[in-house]
Structure 1
Amino acid sequence: MASQWHSLVSQKLYMARTLLQQADAIESVPDAGKVVQREAFLQGAVELTLRARHLLLVMIARMYQRKNDSPESLDALLALLGRELPETAELLELSRQPDSWWNHLDQLVAAQSQPPAARKTVSAENIIAVSAVSGPDRSLSALNLSLDALKQFADSLEERHSEW
């Protein structure tokens, strides 16, 4: 049963990677329409990756015979299964590491769930006060690293729990 969930997680990650490849293919084209298209590819890839992360939580719940539970967050999974299981302990540890793929996805969720910050206009009086927009790393390389790490985590869970 867990392999069906693993397949679904893998499918979402594959589609996210496909969107990132499309974003990369049009990155160098300066056309305004291509900029919008690239942003759509990036946001779509992020959304699919976040969906895969949610499905990973459901996959873990199913591995422990919680067939009717669909945890929406790590906290919900911890409340459901506890902190002692290897999977929940690993995810909890990842959530505590500031540079982990789990935290990168948390940052992306926060950024993509908020309207863009209002930008100040640049003038002679405030040029020093204008700074770069901060936020999660949305570069193709950072997104691909998080995708790879999530895929590797899901694969190791599937291997650990697969039935012979």
Structure 2
Amino acid sequence: MPTPRYILDLREHVGHALLHLPGVSGVVLRGQPSNAELLLVKRADNGRWSLPAGIVEPGEQPGTCIRREVWEEASVEVSVDRLAMLRTDPPKTYPNGDRCQFFSMTFRCSYVGGEAAVGDDESTAVGWFALDALPDLGERDRERIEVALPERGETVFLLT
């Protein structure tokens, strides 16, 4: 996945030091609650299905960012319904030694339009999945989906 230019610029100054970055993910639902489908992307970097996600760029609002990321990755237009979860993910070290920790915002989103299709080189496939027939997902994505499914609800804050 391409690293945003502003992060590359930061790395010139801080090397591999831990960066705290704002990240977003979207639980995008289509259809009625009784038969809703979930939008997933198959990541090019690890071959796993996951929620559309990305990094908030300088000056960008998080809600605008998730709309942009879903469009770029899956060619789907969404409306942002609510902030479902706010948490700090565990630190991550990339193969090149770069370290980061994401301040992660999960949004519940609704499908507005567009045909689900690979929109950039970050994904190899895009698809809609019935909630009772999801592919193998990581624990973090499953947690994000669970808290975002209710149409209304309080934002989940992790306190540990």
Choose 1 or 2 for highest CA Rg: 1
Q: Same fold (TM over 0.5)?
A: no
Q: TM-score, normalised by structure 1?
A: 0.26
Task: Report the TM-score, using the length of structure 2 for normalisation.
Answer: 0.26
Higher normalized strand content (fraction of residues): 2
Structure with the larger helix share:
1
